[in-house]
Amino acid sequence: SIHDPESLIHAYVEALCCVSGLSADSASAAESASRLFHTVVARAKQQWPLANALLRALQLIKSENKDYKVRWRLSSCYLVLAKQIDEPYFPNALRDTLKFFISSKMATFPGEVKDVVEKHPNLYT
pLDDT in tens, 19-40: 999 999 999 999 999 999 999 9
Helical segments of 66-110, H only = 74-84, 92-105
pLDDT, averaged across the chain:
93
Q: Report whether pLDDT(86) > 90.
A: yes
Q: Supply the pLDDT for residue 7.
A: 87
Average pLDDT over residues 65-90: 92
Task: Report the percent of the chain where pLDDT is more than 90.
Answer: 81
Task: Report the percent of the chain where pLDDT is more than 70.
Answer: 98
* Prediction pTM value: 0.92
Q: For residues 60 and 109, is the Cβ–Cβ distance under 8 A?
A: no
Cα distance between residue 72 and residue 68, in whole Å: 12
pLDDT band at 52 (very low <50, low <70, confident <90, very high): very high
Q: Is the pLDDT higher at 105 or at 44?
A: 105
Query: Which bin fits 62, alpha (ψ -120 to 50), beta or left (φ > 0)?
Result: beta
Q: Supply the pLDDT for residue 1.
A: 59
